Structure formats: structure tokens, C-alpha cells
Amino acid sequence: MKLTYCKNCVMPNTKPDLFFDEEGVCDACQSAERKEEIDWTSRKKEFEAVLEKYRSKDKTNYDCIIPVSGGKDSTYQTYVVKKIYGLNPLCVCFEPTHQTSLGKKNIDNLGRLGVDVIFFKKNPEVYKKMVIEGLRRVGDNEWPNHVGIFTVPINVSVRYGIPLVIWGENSQLEYGGPKAAADREVLDRRWLEEFGGLLGNRVEDMLNVEGITREDLLPYTYPSQQELDRVGVRGIFLGYYFKWDARAQLEIIKKHGFSVKEDGPVEGTYTNYENLDEATVSVHDYLKFVKYGFGRATDHACIDIRNKRISRKEGLRLVRQYDGVYPKYGVTNLIDYSGLSKTEIDSIFDQFTNKQIFKVDTHGILVRDAAGNLIKNNYDNE
Amino acid sequence: MLKVRVIPCMLFNGFSLVKTIQFGTMRNLGSPIQAAHVYNSRNVDELVFIDLKATEEHREPLYDVIHEVIGECFMPLAIGGGIHSLDVIQRLLSIGADKVIINSEALTHPEFIERAARKFGSQCIVVSIDVKRNGRRFMVMDKRGATTTRHEAVPWAQEMHKRGAGELFVTSVDQDGSMAGYDIDLINAVVSEVSIPVIASGGAGKVQDIIDVIKKGHADAAALASMFHYSGHTANSIKQRMAAAGIPVRIVGP
Amino acid sequence: MTTSKSVVIIDYGLGNVASASKAFAKLGASVKISRDKNDINTATHLVLPGVGAFGEGIRLLEESGVIPMITERALRQKIPFLGICLGMQLLASTGNEFGVHRGLNWLPGTVDELSGTHIRLPHVGWNEIMIQKKGVLLQGLADRNFYFVHSFVFNCTDPGAVIATCGYGDGFVAVVEKGNIFGTQFHPEKSQVSGLTVLKNFLSYA
């Protein structure tokens, strides 16, 4: 099966929830075009109105919550709220699966912006069971991480009585999705389940897996509608109010102590400034690649193309070189973390590989190049 | 008591799972394998997997994908899409499918149903009927809802029953993907005229819709897709409400 | 799970062998789908699957040539033997589907159409079994619903062998057990967790 690629960026049509128009342009590119037409001045005013509405008037509580990972986006969000608007945010970090030292350094750096950070150190036994089950069941070792990063900050919001939660980019706007979602500014449970990467698996589906109990799942359990209403929780995307440009934002935060990976790009892509905090993320990215035919390098190339930093031709070249490379380090780290064998991890990769998009030999066995990587049937429209 | 079944319906476009609206727009939901795993972990009653594009693309079912989907499943599986010969049925049954769902082939060659039932047994043969309302008539559709045939739903259902179908899978094209409720009148009309089990499909949006199609439509089973795909409900949470409404269901798990 | 169990699922041309095979594999047994003399002679457990008509079933079983071997292994050597669905029905003396046919006659009784007023046939779907006496297969069940798909039933005339019944129509025999001979009308390989429990119990019987 040949993949069809967006005429503008390099995303294939196999990406879930991506729509192509009659000219073959994907909706993420269309959103990027629409970004040019947005009245950002008026959006900025809207943002300021939201802040004014929700901040703690008598300063007895934090003004808002910022879910953070220590990564470039959340560092930028913190910078905007604290340094530009002078508010007092409570940053909430859900501990990564297997934190890198660079990740730790960046989280520590966040504090230096002058903010309080709650670092939620998860019950490692329970979490590990979900990493393994997520890997086996839905082909995503980062499944519990998606739940954690989207649920823990909301739980903190409810328990601390801080209604405003400021997220960064709206993934659907940046990466593509149904128009209604792309234009929404508000994050809620439905968004989480549809787009937050839960892959159809609910938190409750983890009950009884290796003895996981309801109490074990407390941090991952989204508050009830009553609790949300009581506090008046409102999650917003900063990317709705300000034109999102990851690279420009990176330059700003580097001046505030943010560190990038100095010894080369992150495995599976060509950039050295994203996904720095998680040692097993390349396994997650690789699974995406084998399921759908695009990996992290494609994501980054598409963003750079849409932000007019590279040409489509350059994007294609980067993708060919960096995308879908077998995640040696990620696998080693995952073995180290989980105790699973390489054989089992490889068999899970195979199980989720969609053979239709990769080259197979006459016996139907996947073909690998000299470096041991799969070969897509086509890397551009033919 | 024979339990009413709640059946997740996986619609496949040849590459990924999709959600459809009135058989038209297809929204790509991702890998069918992970969905199959999730349903299996939830101990669902049965799974329906339909390859929407097989007939249109003149190809056979994708046995590799189906094999993976069946892989970890220990509940009944009904596979549809591209079933045009006895060999295809044989192959599907041999890789672990329990039933096949036949649609367009029944319309072009109704005797195929007889031959298949005779060879494999009626219990393996499910005939799928897509229906669109035309005034007060229920018209049977072909080509995934694109063409109106000359058949009306009830007489067609009776004929399929006579030819040896073991079950009927009746889908309302109008209600498909709308999450606005099943077409109760349609289901009721078919159920009253046949004595084989009828699986209702198309339109489930809230638990009450399912309760209604069972109690008012008298369906033997309810198939649903959209309601499951957004993780809004699990089969168990739906069945608990059904049990409270007096419907016999199988509830397992935590 | 023990690895010393080797299951042979008798291949005579009928039955959902793939699913049964997967189920036993999941339970840790080594599984073969075969009609080979050697395999049958070395198996620790034998399974007779089957979906379809009695007449066709017994004919194919005869043609496959396995009957003498499985009779020897099950009746004389007392190897655990499980008949599933049609496989259980074939244990009967006679079957009355599309004519009168002789069965294996390992358990007395006939196979007749499921009787009852106003019932739909085939009996297909999940139904609850009623446990009549303690046996091997039904120990430790979390749930008593199993998946059935059949129109005919085994009217076993040895009451001691009837372990469970099901109330559909006028009621029928759901599970039989006599020493090392077992039979389930339902499909354990299609009955999720409950089904896997039944198969696990069968594997533990030695």
C-alpha cells in the first residue's frame, strides 16, 4: 500500500484523525495558514481577560496551574505566566517514566524562574505495571504517562482550589484534527480520551492488571464533574492566545537556563531540544512509526515546514535520514527499566507493525536495510 | 436465560479503524489491533470486524490483519467485508473467525447464502442488511449505502432467513454515526417477521438507546461503535444500566 | 502454568481448531492440531472439537481414521478427553440430525434437536449453566455464562454423567463428565475468562 503525503508538509494520511482537503493539504497545514489570519492582538487581550478573571485576587492562593515536564513548551508557558505577566503559578510535574539527567536538570531550572513546583513522584510499582500493560495491550509504553500528565494537574487544581490550568499547544491545532477541536481553547476529559493518546484504553481498564486496585489508580482518576464544577476548573491552551512557534520560544528559554542535548539529536528525530526528559520515548515514537508510517522526525519536519523554517524538500531529506530508525537506546533503557526482554519488545513491535506500508519479501517477511531498519513503500507521493 | 449481547463493532478501511457517519465520512481512529486488545481485556460478549473497502477495492479480506485481531481474543468473532466465495469463508473460519458477515454478495447472488449455510452451518452465516428510509418504506441499500436496491428490508430479511442465514445484522444508514439512537421501527419490523437472532446496528449514542432497541425494538443484540471509540462507555458500564432496566445481560469483571 | 501438558486437538476437518489451540497455548500447554497416530499416542490430553451437523461430523471422523486410536487412548488408557460442542455430541450413541447416525457411543444417549416452544434456533449467544453436581471442569468459576451456538443437544441417559444443564427451551445438557471423558456443549475457547477456567481445569486433570 502506498502512503499519500500532504502536499505541503510530509505527514502521511495514515495518521489517525488527520484530514486532507481536495488539494491534498492536511488540516494541520490548513490550521497553520489560519494562524496567519488570526487577530493575535485580540487573542492576547482575551488571554489577559482570562487571567484577570481567574487569578487569586487576594493572593491567598496561586493564580493558576501550569502542567510542566521541564521541557521547552512548559518552560515557555511558565516564563510567559511568571516573567511576562507577573503571576504566581503553581507548576505541576508528573514524573517521567525513566527520567534522564537532562530532564532533571531542566526541571530544576524551572524553579529558578521563581516558581513553586509540585513534582509528583508516582508509585513506581503500579506505574511500571501500566507501562508494561500499555506496551502489550495498545502498543504504547508511555500510556500511563499520557494519563498522568493530563490528570494529575487537574487533580491538583481541584484539591488546591486553583481553577485555571494553562496548557501549551493544542495538539490538534499543531498536528491536525477535526476543526471543532482545533478551534477549541478548552481541555476536558473528552479531549483527553479522543486525543490525549489513550488509544481507546480507559484508566479503569487497568484495574486488576497484576493486582492494580482502585486506590492505586487515584492519581490517574479524573475528578468527577461535580468536583470540577465546584472549583470551576478551566483548562486553556496558550497556543490559542499566542502564535505558537517552538523554535522562537526555544531561543527565549535558553536564555533562562533551559538546556538542550549537546551531543546530538534525540533518537528518532533530528532535533535536540524536544522529548529530552524521557529515556524510553524513542520506543513510543518507534511504535507510532510501525503502526502508521511516521515517527517523531516527521512530526518535527512538518512543524518546521509549516513555520517556514525548512522547505518540503529538506523535510523529506530529514525524514529519510532520521525517521523510524530502530530505537537502540530507547529499547536498552526500557529493558533496564521494565525487566522485559529484547525478544518480547521486538515481538511487540512486530505485532503492531502494519505490514501494508513496509516492504516485505516474497514470503511476506518484513525487509530490513543494512542498519536493520524497516523500509517504507514510499517516502513521498509517487 | 439467553443473554442480550452488546457487541463492539470495528469498522476497518483497509488500513485503520474508522468511524463513519451515515456511511460517508470516515474518521481514522488508528490501529485495529490495539482496539481488539482493549475489547478483549474488557471481556466483551462478541466482536464484529468489518472491512468496509474490501468489496469496493475488489480484494479479499486482509487475513494478516484479521489474524492479529483474532490473536488474543477468546470470544466470538464475526468478520465481514469482501466475502464472495466459499473459499474465503473457509479461510476465515480456519484462522479463527466464528461467523462471517455477508452483505453485497447476498444481493447479487442470494443462492450464495444457501450454499454457505449448507457447507458451514447457518450459525456461521450472518447476513448484513443496510437500510435507508424512503418515506414509509425501509429500502435495502447496496455499495455501502450508495445504491438503493429494489428490496425492502422485511421481505429481504425473510428471504435471507429462508436461504439459511443464522443471524441478521441490520444497520440503519440514516442513523449510522449520528449517536442519535437506533432506528427502532426498522428493527422492530424485521424482528417481528423472522425467527433468527437480529443484531441492531447504527445510531447508539447513549445507554438509553440500547435499552430502547432491546425493549422496544426487540433486538437480540446491540452493535455499537462510536460509543466505544471515544472511551466514553465500556460494555460493562452499559450492561449494568441494562440489567437495572430488567434486561438479561452477562456482566463480568471488576 | 505447567509445560508438561501436551494437547492434541483432533483434526478431522471440522471445528474452530485455531481458537481452541490458542486457548490451550495461552494456558501454557503445548498444542498440536493433528490426526497423526504418533501425536495422538503421545498426547497427555485429547480434544475433539466440532461445529456443524452430526452426520457430517461422524462421517469425517470415520474417514480420518482416528477413531480406533482415540478409543484406545480414551477408553482404555484413560487419557483425559474433552469433546466440545459437536465434539461432545459425537460421544453419544446416536445422532438424529439429517437422518439417524451412529455416534462414538462412549456415553449413552441420543442427539436430537433442541426442543421448546417459541424458541429461536440455533441457540446462539451467552447463556447461564446450572451446575447439578460437583465435577472437575466447573471448579472456581467467576461467572456461569458461556457461549453456545448449536441447534442440537445431547440427551445423555446416564444421569451420573450430567454435571450441568442449561435452561434454554425445555432445557438440555451443558456439561458431561465421566471419569476421564468430558464434554461441553458450549465453546470454552470462546467463553472468555470462564471458558479459560474450564480448559485450565481440564488440563489439571491427570
**Which stretch of DSSP H or E encloses residue C7?**
strand C6-10
Q: Which of helix, strand or coil describes residue A261?
A: coil
A137 contacts B42? CB cut-off 8 A? no
Q: How far apart are CA B50 and CA B27, in angstroms?
A: 15
Q: Name residues whose C-beta falls within 8 Å of residue A360's C-beta, 6 or more positions apart in sequence.
A: A366, A367
Task: Tell me: do A85 and A215 sit in the same domain.
Answer: yes
Which of B82, B76, B72, B93 has the alpha carbon at shortest distance from B12? Answer: B82
Residues A77 and A115 in one domain: yes
A147 in the same domain as A200? yes
Query: Can you tell me the distance from the alpha carbon of A251 to that of A207, in angstroms, rounded to the nearest whole number?
Result: 43
How many structural domains is chain A composed of?
2
Contact B231 A202 (CB under 8 A): yes
Report if residue A252 sits inside a domain.
Answer: no
Query: pLDDT tens digits, residue range A125-169?
Result: 999 999 999 999 999 999 999 999 989 999 999 999 999 999 987
Distance between CA atoms of residues C137 and C202, nearest Å:
6
Kindly state whether residues A97 and A214 are assigned to the same domain. yes
In this structure, the answer to whether residues A119 and A230 fall within a common structural domain is yes
Mean pLDDT for B238-250 is 93
**Phi-psi category of A31—alpha, beta or left, where left has phi over 0 and alpha has psi -120 to 50?**
alpha
Chains touching chain B, criterion 3+ CB pairs below 8 Å: A, C
With bands split at pLDDT 50, 70 and 90, how would you rate the model's confidence at A178? low
Considering its fold, how many domains does chain B have in total?
1
B165 to chain C, any CB pair closer than 8 A? The answer is no
Give me the phi and psi of C153, to 5 degrees please: -135, 160
List all residues of chain B from 27 to 46 with a beta carbon under 8 Å from chain A: 27-31, 33-35, 37-38, 41-42
Instruction: Say which CATH number the domain at C12 has.
Output: 3.40.50.880
Record: contact B41-A205, CB cut-off 8 A: yes
Q: Is the peptide bond before A96 cis (omega within 30 degrees of 0)?
A: no
pLDDT averaged over every residue in chain A: 89
Chain A nearest CA to B253, separation (Å):
9
* Domain range enclosing A190: 40-241
Q: Return the C-alpha cell found at A105.
A: 536538570
Give the range of the structural domain holding residue C183, as residue numbers without chain letter.
6-204
Percent of chain A with pLDDT over 70: 93
CA distance B38 to chain A (A): 6
Q: Specify if C107 maps to a domain.
A: yes
Report the pLDDT value the prediction gives residue A169, as an integer from 0 to 100: 79
Which residue has cell 516564563?
Answer: A79
Whether C56 is catalytic: no
Whether C101 sits among the annotated catalytic residues: the reply is: no
Q: CB distance from B26 to chain A under 8 Å?
A: no
Q: Residue A132 falls within a domain, yes or no?
A: yes
Q: How far is C41 from chain B (nearest CA, A)?
A: 25
Which residues have C-beta within 8 Å of that of residue A216, sequence separation ≥ 6?
A123, A126
Contact flag B1-C167 (C-beta cutoff 8 Å): yes
Could B2 and C123 be called an inter-chain contact, meaning their C-beta atoms sit closer than 8 Å?
yes
Q: Find chain B residues with C-beta within 8 A of C23's C-beta.
A: 74
- Any domain includes B224: yes
Which residues of chain B make contact with A16, given a CB cutoff of 8 A? 16, 28-30
pLDDT above 90 covers a percentage of chain A that reads 66
**Can you give the pLDDT at residue C1?**
47
Chain A residues within 8 A of B232 when measuring between CB atoms: 190, 193
Beta strand spans in A213-265 (E): 234-237
Nearest C-alpha of chain A: how many angstroms from B150?
34
C-alpha cell, B246: 430488567
Cβ neighbours of A128 (radius 10 Å): 18
What interface predicted TM-score (ipTM) does this complex get?
0.83
In this structure, what C-alpha cell is assigned to residue B13? 478501511
Read off the pLDDT band of A171 (50, 70, 90): low
Q: Are residues A2 and A132 in the same domain?
A: no
- Residue A175 pLDDT: 54
Characterize B18-49 residue by residue with b for buried, 16 or more Cβ atoms within 10 angstroms of its Cβ, and e for exposed: bbbeebeebbbbbbbbbbbbbbbbbbbbbbbb
- Mutation choice for A interface testing from B37, B47, B66 by most A CBs within 10 A: B37
Locate B119 and state its grid cell.
457447507
Q: Which residue has the higher pLDDT, C35 or A364?
A: C35
**A280 and A200 within one domain:** no
**Among B111-125, B219-233, C13-27, C102-116, which stretch is predicted with the lowest mean pLDDT?**
B219-233
Question: Which helix (H) or strand (E) element contains residue C42?
Answer: helix C37-42
Q: Is there a domain that residue A31 lies in? A: no
Q: Residues A301-347: pLDDT tens digits?
A: 998 999 889 999 999 999 999 999 999 999 999 999 999 999 999 99
Over residues A362-367, the mean pLDDT reads 88
Which pLDDT belongs to residue A190? 62
In this complex, whether A and B touch, counting 3 or more CB pairs under 8 angstroms, is: yes
DSSP letters, A322-377, are HTT---HHHHHHHHHHH---HHHHHHHHHHH--GGGB-B-TTSPBPB-TTS-B-BS
A270 pLDDT more than 70: yes
| Edge-first strand listing for the sheet containing A116-120 | A116-120, A89-94, A64-68, A164-167, A234-237
A207, B254: Cβ pair inside 8 Å? Answer: yes
- Is residue C1 assigned to a domain? no
Q: Of the residues C45, C101, C150, C187, which is catalytic?
A: C187
* The three cell numbers locating residue A211: 493486582
**Chains A vs C: touching, with 3+ CB pairs under 8 Å?**
no
Alpha carbons A83 and A87: distance in angstroms, whole number: 8
Q: Which residue has the higher pLDDT, A19 or B133?
A: B133
Last residue of a domain, one of A241, A259, A277: A241
For each of chain C's 206 residues, which pLDDT tens digit applies? 445 899 999 999 877 788 899 999 999 999 999 999 999 999 999 999 988 788 889 999 999 999 999 999 999 999 999 999 999 999 999 998 878 899 999 999 999 999 998 887 788 889 999 999 989 999 999 889 999 988 899 999 999 999 999 999 999 999 999 999 999 999 999 999 999 999 999 999 98
Domain limits at B151?
A: 5-244
In a domain, residue B250? The reply is no
Structure confidence by residue, pLDDT tens digits, B9-53:
999 988 888 887 777 777 788 888 888 888 888 888 999 999 999
Instruction: Identify whether C189 is a catalytic site residue.
Output: yes
Name the minimum distance, in Å, from the CA of C132 to any CA of chain B: 17
For A62-118, the pLDDT digits (tens) are: 999 999 988 888 999 999 999 999 999 999 999 999 999 999 999 999 988 999 999
Cβ pair B74:C51 closer than 8 A:
no
Q: Is residue A29 one of the residues assigned to a domain?
A: no
- Beta strands C162-166 and C123-131 are antiparallel
CA distance C19 to A91: 51
Question: What distance in Å separates residue A374's CA from the closest CA in chain B?
Answer: 18
Q: Looking at the domain assignment, is residue C17 inside a domain?
A: yes
A57 and A203 within one domain: yes
**Mean pLDDT taken over chain B:** 90
The distance from CA A51 to its chain's CA centroid, rounded to whole angstroms, is 25
Domain count across chain C: 1
Cα–Cα distance, A144 to A131 (Å, whole number): 6
Nearest to B31 among A139, A201, A205 (CB): A139
Q: Is the pLDDT of residue A240 over 90?
A: no
The answer to whether residue B231 scores a pLDDT higher than 70 is: no
Residue from A26, A27, A129, A138 whose CB has the most chain B CBs within 10 Å, to mutate? A138
**Per the residue annotation, which of C85, C97, C156, C177 is the catalytic one?**
C85
Using an 8 Å CB-CB cutoff, list chain A residues near B229: 200
Q: What is the pTM of this model?
A: 0.81
